[in-house]
Amino acid sequence: MEPKTVRRGAGARVPRPGSVDAIHNALIAGTEVFTLDGTLPVEVLVPGDRVITRDAGAVALREVRHRHAALPLVRLRAGSLGNARPDRDLVMPARQEILVRDWRASALFGRAQALVAARRLCDGEFVSEIGTCDVSVVELVFDAPHIVYADGLEVAAGAPCPATVA
């Protein structure tokens, strides 16, 4: 996984920690995440819970941030990104990064796999923007960036901001 700073252009604005702009990879309450205790709603996870990741196996959560914010959202229909991916209709923040690693990655990005903001996958039929809504979101924070399984999708979860590292 590439560090988040790789994509930041020269002179890019750095969001304030705690601001809506700082909510980059977060899941809406009710999204189910694979853990060592089974599939659990993201909002019940606590620091120390071990989440199953694609890149590193079971990894302990460092922090779980609960927020309520007005965010642009995207709806993904069940199976729209592959066989049972997602495994049910799903709504997520438009900025949530999804790991795409099938023909879409090659066709759209010229790579075998790519981390893509959900809004970039909108086609108006299977993946569509639904506007800005007030939602409860949960950010999963690990010691390093990881790919976690959320409702059958592989999505990015972050590392702490450099300013918040203890």
The pLDDT tens digits of the residues spanning 78-125 come to: 988 877 789 899 999 999 999 998 888 888 888 999 999 999 999 989
The pLDDT tens digits of the residues spanning 140-158 come to: 999 999 999 999 999 999 8
123: its two tokens: 């086609």
| 21 compared with 93, residue with greater pLDDT | 93
| 98 compared with 9, residue with greater pLDDT | 98
Which pLDDT band holds residue 71 (cuts at 50, 70, 90)? very high
Which pLDDT band holds residue 13 (cuts at 50, 70, 90)? very low
Give whole-number Cα distances, 111 to 99, 101, 102, 147, in Å: 12, 8, 9, 17
Domains of the chain: 26-157 (2.170.16.10)
- The percentage of residues in the chain with a pLDDT greater than 90, rounded to a whole number, is 66
Which pLDDT band holds residue 3 (cuts at 50, 70, 90)? very low
What pLDDT does 35 receive? 97
Please report the DSSP string for 127-158 in residue order. Answer: EEEEEEEEEEEEEEE-SS-EEEEETTEEEEEB
The mean per-residue pLDDT over the stretch 59-84 comes to 92
